[in-house]
Structure 1
Amino acid sequence: MLDAVSSRRRTTLVSAAIRIGYAWTVRRDEPRAWREIMSMTGVVNSLLGPGRVALTPTELVDQLSRDPLRQIAPEVFEGDPLGWLTVLEWGELSDDVYSDGCSAIISLLEKGDRGRGWMPSWTWLQQEIVQNEAFLKIKTDASDADYVARRRFVIEYPAGELETIADQCSEAGIQPPVHYAPLPPDRVHEGRYWWPCPTCRWPMRVSGTTVRCSYRAHNAEYAIRSLEDGRPPKLRPRDDTVGRQPAARLLRTEGDRRTVCVDLPAWRYIVVPGVDELALYKKWHGKPLLDVSLWPHQDAYDLKFTIESLNWTLAVDLKDVASASVLADEIARKPLAAKTIVLPDHRGIAQRQELQDLLPDYTVLRVEDVNRIVKKKLSEARRAL
């Protein structure tokens, strides 16, 4: 595992770079943005060391717009996927930030942090604290059953018409479990249309004639194809690997049918990981001889598989981050209740092996490994009947 100094240096640089990126995107509206950019430029220069020519704020912004972090600090990001993160794209925060940068942010200025008055908490607080903020309403006064119902609702209804969301809440017997807000401007095409990601169902980002989910692993990127006669535009997949394209949804801005979505922290920390957790649960729930529990004891871990006839259980915690070393450091600070860590298949065998080497006291699997193990155990239980 990385030593503490190297790990802190890496996550500090990621955090400072993302803070610069966010401040740059609001510099025309927020008078404190330039002070933030200058302050975080000082942090970055101190991390690069005295042997490097100090970058000016504008030079650093230019590099963050053009180069991945490994180009700015190759010795800091050697061999780590976070090094491929590009902070800015066309003057806005890149999807890399939302996909992978969020998981590596740490608190940089414990006292006198001027950014805390105006920057969103996910740009300056550790992931765990922002997660707690996102989960607060779900957990408040909730029984175990309430917790599962509320959390599942957020995953299944991250965006839509307010009236429809209220009706679905009523049918489920719950109040809206998180805050729903108007769609961000970068999720709307020509002020009229939006598209949900086919995987997570959150509004996809619109940039010129391109529409894509901000979570890159969902592999949803399309070109907009405008139609005549006032018909809604359609999407065309960018390449053959992209799956089905959703139809355009009409944006409504007033009344009970206005279009809303969960905010970014709820999407990134509840919806995105929940997609894989819920898919794994649905695959095995209801199978004879097998009991599957989702988020037992209000998320002590994510899933528990039990076959009583074999006296067999498997408790797992799903984790989806770009950097195995960042995840390993987080788990070292706060050990997991479940001794089996599960990675999404898209993270690959290499990350599974790296994390296993870093955390020898845990078993590290991918989703396909869990499916194979459960299938084998079920076959064993059926033969024993």
Structure 2
Amino acid sequence: MLASTDVVPAEVDELDPDQRIALEACVIAAITWCTPQGEARARARLLMECHGRFMRAWGVHGKGASFSDFLERLCKAPVGELLPGPGSWSKLWDVRLLEDDGTATPVLTRLAMEASEQAQEVPGMGADLRHLHSVLRALGKLPTGARLSRITAEAVQHAVFRALQQAGFAAYTEGRKALVTRPVMARRALARHAHLVDLGVYTAISPMRQFAGWWAWCPFCQWTLRAVPRGRQAADLRCEDSRHVERGARFRMSLQDGQWRLAPAGGEIRAMPKLQPVEGHVALSYGLWQWIVLPGLLEIELKERAEKAGADVRLWPYGDSYDLHITKNGVTWRVDVKTWADPQGIAERMRGDPEGCAGLIVVIPEHLGGYTGLLVKVLGPHGARVMTDVSLIGEVSRA
């Protein structure tokens, strides 16, 4: 299964118009199907609307499905079997939208963030989308009335970081680090970060990430775990990042002797989270977590690893220009970290940057190493180097 960062606009763009319409209908239907929040009649209406769009997309191909067959396909079939027309080379073709237990895959959550305005009708997901929409609009990245469709990591990062810079370099560095290391805060703690309060990036914890008035954090990224109810007295809690889940960020919450308790559900846990009351806490939404927290964690980790290798490191030395300035024995590395697998988007943004990418090293996580060749082909002629985080630290160690 692909991680949430591995389904990208570039792969969706390979689909023809009918396939895109069918995919969007399936995405909204699947996220609605597996989300318990919301009034039953409204959820049924949205599912039927999605089925109608799905049928229209399949029209000329003559292989539509009844409503019950449509729901069954959502639960069991890979994306390729949901779309009309010819097959595709894309990895997207082989992934599923729902797990065997009926819960959302990371791929589904990622695609839902890029779907049309219909995604804003889905309980929980709609709250996240509306918040991100209001943040971007308030920071001047979206005109009033604009729809949040096919949002991009670069737009989110650029808007938030530029707004932080207006408070000065010290406040920028402090604020950016706070976003990365404290994606959930008590309201009282947030009040001490005036520049973050002004940004409005923290909001109430999503209904999709709480159960019975409680939430818990991922031991790896500190963000809210997603809650999947298992009846009225239990829920499964897990991180939205599949790699964190594989390492043990999955738990079972249950009612025992009148108290809610949390127990690990497998994997190696370095720090057991505690249940916290939803009341009094605020969190970043999904898009801000994915595009600010996850890359920020890698940036901070690279700083620590490079320093252990004997280098001098400055984190975010010129604000939004690049992420790490590393020097050792007269050698300098200007590093820009990218953690989402969108080589086309990364390349287009960097080629259009007026400051250029000459002399930059674009670093991607080791698990995305398969994209190195494509990024080298596109960015190499413009003077950028591309490598994984492991390769970078190896190069710094040898210097």
**TM-score, structure 1 as length reference:** 0.72
Cα drift, residue 11 of structure 1? 6.8
Cα drift, residue 204 of structure 1? 0.6
Partner of 1:97: 108
Which stretches in structure 1 are left out of the alignment for 5+ residues?
Answer: 378-385
2:206 counterpart (177, 181, 184): 184
Cα drift, residue 77 of structure 1? 4.2
Distance in 1 of aligned mates of 2:303 and 2:396: 12
1:6 counterpart (6, 14, 26): 14
Partner of 1:222: 250
Cα drift, residue 138 of structure 1? 4.1
Structure 1 128/95 Cα, relative in aligned 2: closer, same or farther at 3 Å?
closer
Partner of 2:345: 330
- SS state at 2:318 partner: helix
Which stretches in structure 2 are left out of the alignment for 5+ residues?
Answer: 1-9, 133-147
Structure 1 144/96 Cα, relative in aligned 2: closer, same or farther at 3 Å?
same
* 2:14 maps to amino acid: S
Partner of 2:394: 372
Partner of 1:67: 77
Distance in 1 of aligned mates of 2:94 and 2:159: 27
Partner of 2:6: none
Partner of 2:275: 249
* 2:46 maps to amino acid: A
Identity %, equivalent residues: 19
Structure 1 277/136 Cα, relative in aligned 2: closer, same or farther at 3 Å?
closer
**TM-score, structure 2 as length reference:** 0.70
Distance in 2 of aligned mates of 1:284 and 1:365: 15
Cα drift, residue 194 of structure 1? 2.2
Distance in 2 of aligned mates of 1:3 and 1:68: 15
Structure 1 83/358 Cα, relative in aligned 2: closer, same or farther at 3 Å?
farther
Partner of 1:383: none
| 1:141 maps to 2:166 | yes
1:176-231 deviation per Cα after TM superposition (whole angstroms, max 9, x unaligned): 6543222223322433x322101110111122342210111223443426585555
* 2:111 maps to amino acid: G
Partner of 2:225: 204
Equivalence map 1:1-385=2 (5 Å): 6=14, 15=24, 17-22=26-31, 25=35, 28=40, 30=42, 33=46, 37=50, 40-41=53-54, 44-45=57-58, 50-55=60-65, 59-73=69-83, 75-80=86-91, 83-86=94-97, 93-98=104-109, 100-101=110-111, 105=114, 120=129, 124-128=149-153, 131=156, 135=160, 138-139=163-164, 141-167=166-192, 169=193, 175=197, 177-191=199-213, 193-207=214-228, 208=230, 209-219=235-245, 220-224=248-252, 226=254, 228-230=256-258, 232-239=260-267, 242-253=268-279, 258-285=280-307, 290-307=311-328, 310=330, 312-322=331-341, 327-335=342-350, 337-338=356-357, 339-347=360-368, 349-353=369-373, 355-356=375-376, 361=381, 362-377=384-399
Distance in 1 of aligned mates of 2:23 and 2:289: 21
Distance in 2 of aligned mates of 1:51 and 1:264: 36
Contact 1:134 1:178 in 2 (8 A): no
Structure 1 234/301 Cα, relative in aligned 2: closer, same or farther at 3 Å?
same
Structure 1 3/134 Cα, relative in aligned 2: closer, same or farther at 3 Å?
closer
Distance in 2 of aligned mates of 1:17 and 1:178: 32
Contact 2:202 2:283 in 1 (8 A): yes
Contact 2:180 2:297 in 1 (8 A): yes
Distance in 2 of aligned mates of 1:3 and 1:261: 30
- SS state at 2:80 partner: helix
- SS state at 2:327 partner: strand
- SS state at 1:164 partner: helix
Distance in 1 of aligned mates of 2:95 and 2:69: 19
Distance in 1 of aligned mates of 2:380 and 2:349: 15
Aligned residues: 348
Distance in 2 of aligned mates of 1:214 and 1:223: 13
Cα drift, residue 155 of structure 1? 1.0
